[in-house]
């Protein structure tokens, strides 16, 4: 492969891993627990910002404003990103303590997301405003000086984080905790009646999902080396939700499939199309395709490509009324009363 | 004191535009029980229809009416062909909200595909400035405020004194009961979407007349303030929407004037956040409670 191609493929892979991590986190919140967190992208941005301020050091403060400014070695910023985003998840999740109707919560979350965008853009001292942060150092720069080798190294790192996250979420989904979460999703009143602490479970998933989103943001920002509020607008949350719907919510493989098809496949698949019409035409067609895809999936395949496998339990026989028995009896000339009811119901 | 009144004046203008649109948004929630996140896009569509008429030589006011009519038809079309079938097929609230979001995205980027990302503006005279009790308005802004007042009054009379309006209120509180009383829910729903669509187009046009910039994202950027106003006032209630629009519009402009222009939207949201913490159903909570948005 030529170096340009290697660069392209490596970049694509990093993006794919970042999206898979993020959609997996969203799956935990939305797919499994049924929380409509329309502020999801805010947690990714938060993780990215945490990594940025912990690695930027003081030297770049001459031309951009931010808080802290440490240059901590590699694993600390990643872990801190997860923790800070998780903590933010707890704070935001506190909004759900009053049980809001699911779509009302979504609207409130949407507003939260936009407040965050407005705040980050307006508070120039804290986040350097709309310009964002630049020159965020690469975490493994000391290991190799070759760009290509570095990119492949980063692919491996992103892949490791991604696989780790997927396995962890898989464990949660299959565990008794996962069962409790699904119970909260299907019927929170019933889950509560069975002794599950619905509020604590929701809060916990807000924190866990936020933490995973933070990790994805940290991985992303270490690669692209820039941070700006305009890269994390609420449209991105829409893309992640679409990916989850297309891939299949609450399944293990669904987030992976969805992330590869929607954000990675669509955004990159259109890159080599010849420019037709105005320069904005292809990107806007991309958005239209994502929207149409969402509607088609919701209508025809609401379970997504890899639907959740619902556990089936043997049904207890419903009680049948006399009229059922009459209808179901074979026409063998017997009187309806001639067959004992117990036998008739056993058919 | 005088500068305070000045900012209140600015606030009244944004509150007026917010009022027209928030009434439409909240009506849609009341009747169809869904948050129509495509509302911002129908606003933009209405503004673009007005732009086409206006750039072909028509005066701005008739163009505005055409824009409202265009947005009304578009809203009715979306409601009939997409929302109603989805509501009949799935019960999941998530599906419905994603559908409205998807429709909004499709509409918005269709407009970008057609008109590009350029800014356009109407061909109109802003009019001379008028001083009213320490506040300064352009005559266009005064007309916009007048329109908002007229819309609010008309809405009040509609809901209070006409059969259609009473049917709307009945459906908003209990759809099944309304149906059992012989109200044609289908027809009233169609009327509601026509009416709210017209309001969205009108608001879109008025917004562009005020800020003088129109592009494919104009309405979508404004949508969040509409949502804030409607939720603050109590989602589903038109009176709540008027109140919410007034609070959000005036508080954001006053804060922008006194604290920092950058905190204009943030202030509006902080007000909303405080209200939601204390009273999740909003100020006028009758319909929001009937629909159990918060328990």
How confident is the model over B211-227, as pLDDT tens digits? 888 888 888 888 888 98
Please determine, for residue A272, whether its predicted confidence score (pLDDT) is greater than 70. Answer: no
Residue B295 lies in a domain: no
Interface of B with A in 146-205 (CB under 8 A): none
| Residue A78 resides in a domain | yes
Residues 261-280 of chain B with CB under 8 A from chain A are: 262-263, 265-266, 269-270, 272-273, 276-277, 280
Evaluate whether residue B250 is within a structural domain: yes
CB A102 within 8 A of CB B94: yes
pLDDT at residue number A93: 86
Residue A277: pLDDT band with limits 50, 70, 90: low
Q: Are residues A81 and A162 in the same domain?
A: yes
Do A12 and A76 lie in one domain? The reply is yes
Nearest CB to B106; choose among A103, A114, A288: A288
Question: Residue A300: its pLDDT value, please?
Answer: 92
How far is residue A10 from each of residues A146, A151, B132, measured CA to CA in Å?
Answer: 14, 6, 64
- Band (pLDDT 50/70/90 cuts) for residue A329 is very low
Same domain, A37 and A95: yes
- Give the mean pLDDT of chain B: 87
- The total domain count for chain A is 2
Q: What percent of chain A has pLDDT over 70?
A: 82
pLDDT at B114 over 60: yes
The whole-chain average pLDDT of chain A stands at: 81
Does the pLDDT of residue A273 top 90, yes or no? no
> Domain total for chain B?
1
B110 contact A CB<8A: yes
Q: What is the pLDDT of residues A16-53, one digit of tens each?
A: 999 999 999 999 999 899 888 899 999 999 999 888 88
ipTM surpassing 0.90: no
Band (A317; pLDDT cuts 50, 70, 90): low
> Does A151 share its domain with A102?
yes
| Domain around B227 | 2-290
Checking if the pLDDT of A338 tops 50, the result is no
Residue A288 sits in the same domain as residue A323? no
Q: Which residues of A touch B117 (CB under 8 A)?
A: 278, 280
pLDDT for the residue B86: 92
Q: How confident is the model at residue B82 (pLDDT cuts 50, 70, 90)?
A: very high
* DSSP string for residues in A38-73: TTHHHHHHHHHHHHHHHHS-SGGGGT---S------
Do A145 and A284 have their domain in common? yes
Q: Is A30 on the interface with B (CB under 8 A)?
A: yes
Mapping DSSP onto H, E and C, the string for chain B reads CHHHHHHHHHHHHHHHHHHHHHHHHHHHHHHHCCCCCCHHHHHHHHHHHHHHHHHCCCCHHHHHHHHHHHHHHHHHHHHHHHHHHHHHHCCCHHHHHHHHHHHHHHHHHHHHHHHCCCCECCCCCCCCEEEECCEEEEHHHHHHHHHHHHHHHHHHHHHHHCHHHHHHHHHHHCHHHHHHCCCCHHHHHHHHHHHHHHHHHHHHHHHHHHHCCECCCHHHHHHHHHHHHHHHHCCCCHHHHHHHHHHHHHHHHHHHHHCCHHHHHHHHHHHHHHHHHHCCCCCCCHHHHHCCCEC
The DSSP secondary-structure symbol of A274 reads: P
Please report, for the domain that includes residue A22, its CATH number.
1.10.3470
Neighbouring residues of B233: CB distance < 8 A, sequence distance ≥ 6: B22, B26, B239, B240, B241, B242, B243, B244, B245, B247, B282, B283, B284
Nearest chain B residue to A123 by CA distance is B262
Q: Does A295 touch chain B (CB under 8 A)?
A: yes
Contact A47, A84 (CB under 8 A): yes
**Residue B136: inside a domain, yes or no?**
yes
Residues A101 and A198 in one domain: yes
pLDDT tens profile A103-113: 788 888 888 88
CA distance A290 to A288: 5
Lowest pLDDT segment from A60-69, A251-260, A289-298, B239-248? A60-69
Residues A218 and A329 occupy one common structural domain: no
User: Does any domain span residue A309?
Assistant: no
Q: Which of A28-32, A277-281, B80-84, B241-245 comes out lowest in average pLDDT?
A: A277-281
Residue B215 lies in a domain: yes
How far is A194 from A205, CA to CA, in rounded Å?
A: 19
Q: Are A74 and A140 contained in the same domain?
A: yes
Per-residue pLDDT tens over the stretch B122-131: 887 777 777 7
pLDDT of B2? 66
Distance, CA of A159 to CA of A145 (rounded, Å) = 21
When pLDDT is cut at 50, 70 and 90, the band that residue B77 belongs to is very high
Burial code (b: 16+ CB inside 10 Å, e: under 16) for B235-264 equals bbbbbbbbbbbbbbbbbbbbbbbeeeeebb
Instruction: Report the distance separating Cα A84 and Cα B289, nearest Å.
Output: 35
Given a cut of 90, whether residue A242 has pLDDT beyond it is yes
Per the DSSP assignment, residues forming a β-bridge with A15 are none
Query: Could you tell me which of A263, A33, A25, A19 has the C-alpha nearest to residue A166?
Result: A25
Q: Which of A96, A103, A106 to mutate to test the interface with B (most CBs of B within 10 A)?
A: A103
Cα A23 to Cα B191: distance, rounded to the nearest angstrom: 40
Domain with residue B230: its CATH number is 1.10.3470
Calculate what percentage of chain B has a pLDDT beyond 70: 98
What is the value of pTM for the model shown? Answer: 0.86
Residue B248 lies in a domain: yes
Domain annotation covers residue B68 = yes
pLDDT band with cut points at 50, 70 and 90 for residue A307: confident
Same domain, A55 and A133: yes
Domain that residue A330 falls in: 316-347
Instruction: Quickly tell me which residue has 């891993």 as its tokens.
Output: A17
B288 with B282: CB under 8 angstroms? Answer: yes
Q: Are B51 and B122 in contact (CB under 8 A)?
A: yes
pLDDT band at A59; cut points 50, 70, 90: low
Instruction: Tell me: do A104 and A194 sit in the same domain.
Output: yes
pLDDT digits (tens, 9 = 90+) for A131-155: 777 777 777 777 777 778 888 888 9
Same domain, A244 and A283: yes
* Inter-CA distances, A230 with A63, A233, A331, Å: 19, 6, 73
* A306 within some domain: no
């Amino acid at each position: 492969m030529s170096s340009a191609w290697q660069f392209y493929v490596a970049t694509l892979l990093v993006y794919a891993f970042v999206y898979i991590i993020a959609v997996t986190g969203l799956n935990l919140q939305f797919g499994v627990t049924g929380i409509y967190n329309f502020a999801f992208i805010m947690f990714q941005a938060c993780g990215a910002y945490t990594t940025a301020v912990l690695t930027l050091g003081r030297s770049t403060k001459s031309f951009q404003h931010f808080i802290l400014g440490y240059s901590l070695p590699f694993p600390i910023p990643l872990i801190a990103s997860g923790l800070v985003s998780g903590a933010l998840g707890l704070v935001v999740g506190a909004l759900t303590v009053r049980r809001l109707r699911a779509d009302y919560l979504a609207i409130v979350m949407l507003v939260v997301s936009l407040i965050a965008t407005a705040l980050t853009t307006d508070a120039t001292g804290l986040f350097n405003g709309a310009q964002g942060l630049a020159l965020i150092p690469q975490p493994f720069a000391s290991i190799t000086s070759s760009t290509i080798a570095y990119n492949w190294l980063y692919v491996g790192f992103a892949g490791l984080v991604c696989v780790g996250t997927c396995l962890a979420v898989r464990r949660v989904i299959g565990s008794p905790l996962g069962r409790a979460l699904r119970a909260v999703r299907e019927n929170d009143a019933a889950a509560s009646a069975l002794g599950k602490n619905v509020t604590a479970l929701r809060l916990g998933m807000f924190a866990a999902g936020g933490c995973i989103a933070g990790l994805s943001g940290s991985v992303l920002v270490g690669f692209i080396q820039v941070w700006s509020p305009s890269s994390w607008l609420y449209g991105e949350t829409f893309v992640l939700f679409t990916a989850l719907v297309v891939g299949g919510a609450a399944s293990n493989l669904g987030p992976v499939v969805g992330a590869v098809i929607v954000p990675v496949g669509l955004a990159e698949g259109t890159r080599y199309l010849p420019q037709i019409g105005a320069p904005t035409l292809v990107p806007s067609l991309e958005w239209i395709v994502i929207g149409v895809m969402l509607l088609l999936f919701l209508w025809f395949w609401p379970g997504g490509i890899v639907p959740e496998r619902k556990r089936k339990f043997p049904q207890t026989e419903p009680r049948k009324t006399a009229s059922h028995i009459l209808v179901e009896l074979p026409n063998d000339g017997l009187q309806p009363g001639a067959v004992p009811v117990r036998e008739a119901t056993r058919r | 004191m005088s500068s305070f009144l000045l900012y209140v004046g600015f606030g009244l203008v944004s509150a007026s535009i917010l009022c027209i649109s928030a009434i439409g948004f909240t009506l849609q929630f009341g009747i169809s029980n869904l948050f129509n996140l495509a509302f911002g896009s129908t606003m933009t569509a209405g503004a673009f229809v007005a732009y086409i008429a206006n750039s072909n030589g028509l005066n701005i006011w008739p163009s505005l009416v055409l824009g409202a009519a265009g947005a009304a038809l578009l809203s009715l079309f979306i409601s009939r062909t997409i929302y109603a079938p989805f509501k009949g097929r799935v019960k999941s609230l998530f599906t419905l909200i994603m559908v409205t979001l998807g429709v909004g995205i499709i509409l918005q980027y269709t407009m970008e595909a057609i008109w590009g990302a350029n800014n356009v503006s109407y061909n109109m005279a802003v009019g001379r400035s008028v001083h009213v009790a320490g506040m300064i308005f352009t005559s266009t802004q005064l007309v916009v405020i007048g329109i908002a007042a007229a819309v609010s009054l008309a809405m009040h009379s509609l809901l209070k004194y006409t059969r259609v309006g009473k049917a709307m209120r009945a459906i908003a509180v209990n759809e099944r009961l309304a149906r059992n009383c012989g109200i044609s829910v289908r027809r009233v729903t169609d009327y509601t979407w026509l009416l709210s669509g017209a309001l969205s187009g009108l608001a879109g046009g008025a917004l562009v007349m005020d800020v003088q910039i129109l592009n494919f994202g104009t309405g979508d950027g404004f949508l969040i303030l509409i949502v804030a106003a409607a939720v603050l006032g109590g989602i589903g209630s038109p009176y709540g929407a008027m109140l919410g629009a007034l609070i959000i519009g005036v508080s954001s402009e006053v804060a922008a004037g006194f604290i920092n222009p950058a905190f204009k939207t943030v202030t509006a949201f902080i007000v909303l956040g405080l209200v939601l913490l204390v009273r999740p159903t909003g100020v006028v909570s009758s319909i929001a409670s009937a629909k159990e948005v918060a328990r």
